[in-house]
DNA sequence: CTGCGATGTACATTATACTTTACATTTTTC
DNA sequence: GAAAAATGTAAAGTATAATGTACATCGCAG
């Protein structure tokens, strides 16, 4: 299974971060330079942003990338020939 | 300038990590499930992987995302209304 | 109830990450 | 120095992130 070759399941806490800061999807979208539709899709977990966008979001929220995005079901499946 | 709305300049240390582990582009490509052309482009810094691929690379090298990819010229341009 | 701001959804379109293939150049190894 | 392995490049194609727009719903202030 989870062998780094296939797509990972990545969860994010954008919805939470946004709630904390009390900003709207539109405000966040403007801040990081995407459309609201992109924020909606991201919060729904339906896709997989570019690293670039991920960094912009993390920078905006002033959190670490690993705090905003976490790999689900990660275990040491790697390097086990 | 660097206002989170535009594309960030992201550098990576894939080439270095690969040198440390002494693995080829092809081996890395196979390990993370992409083609060698993708690894080449990444090392050249020409593009901006998906967060998914970025995570797979970090997991493979067993380093933090922030160790493998760093935002260049990052400063506290944000939140400075 | 009415209007409005915030959110969710759908669909067509554009931009770009990634693939596939093939060939050219560099580096390694014998 | 020749063979082989590793790396770089380039072009055309596929998959999907992100856009733009429009509409529908929900919560809430008036």
The 10s digit of each residue's pLDDT in A45-64 is: 878 999 999 999 999 999 99
Distance measured from the CA of protein residue A58 to the C1' of nucleotide D11, in angstroms? 36
Lowest-pLDDT range of A64-73, B54-63, B70-79 = B70-79
Percent above pLDDT 70 for chain A:
88
Supply the angle between the helices A51-61 and B51-61 in degrees, to the nearest 10.
90
Split at pLDDT 50, 70, 90, the class of B73 is confident
Q: Does residue B77 carry a pLDDT above 60? A: no
Q: What are phi and psi of A56, to 5 degrees?
A: -60, -40
Res A38: pLDDT: 96
**Per-residue b or e along B53-62, where b marks 16 or more CB atoms closer than 10 Å to that residue's CB:** bbbbbbbbbe
* Fold entry, domain A10-71: 434 Repressor (Amino-terminal Domain) (1.10.260)
Split at pLDDT 50, 70, 90, the class of B60 is very high
Alpha helices in chain A (DSSP H): 14-21, 25-32, 36-44, 51-61, 65-68
The pTM of the whole model exceeds 0.75: yes
Going from N- to C-terminal start, the domains of chain B cover: 10-71
Q: How many other CB atoms are there within 10 angstroms of residue B5's CB atom?
A: 12
* Beta carbons of A4 and A59 less than 8 angstroms apart: no
Q: Does residue A80 carry a pLDDT above 50? A: no
For A8, B2, B51, B65, the CA distances from A60, given in Å and listed in that order, are 24, 12, 17, 17
> Which residues on adjacent β-strands are paired with residue A11?
A70
Q: How far is A59 from chain B (nearest CA, A)?
A: 8
* Beta carbons of B50 and A48 less than 8 angstroms apart: yes
Average pLDDT score over residue span B12-27: 96
Q: Do B52 and A10 touch (CB under 8 A)?
A: yes
Q: Do A54 and B54 touch (CB under 8 A)?
A: yes
Res B56: pLDDT: 97
Q: Do A74 and B59 touch (CB under 8 A)?
A: yes
Within A 12-41, residues with CB less than 7 Å from strand C: 18, 24-26, 36-37, 40
Q: Nearest CA to the C1' of D5 belongs to which residue? A: B24
């Amino acid at each position: 299974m989870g062998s780094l070759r296939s797509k990972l399941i990545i969860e994010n806490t954008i919805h939470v971060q946004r709630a904390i800061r009390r900003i709207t999807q539109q405000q966040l979208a403007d801040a990081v330079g995407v459309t609201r539709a992109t924020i909606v899709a991201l919060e729904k977990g339906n896709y997989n942003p570019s690293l670039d966008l991920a960094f912009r979001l993390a920078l905006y929220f002033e959190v670490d990338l690993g705090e905003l995005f976490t790999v689900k079901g990660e275990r040491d499946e790697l390097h086990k020939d």
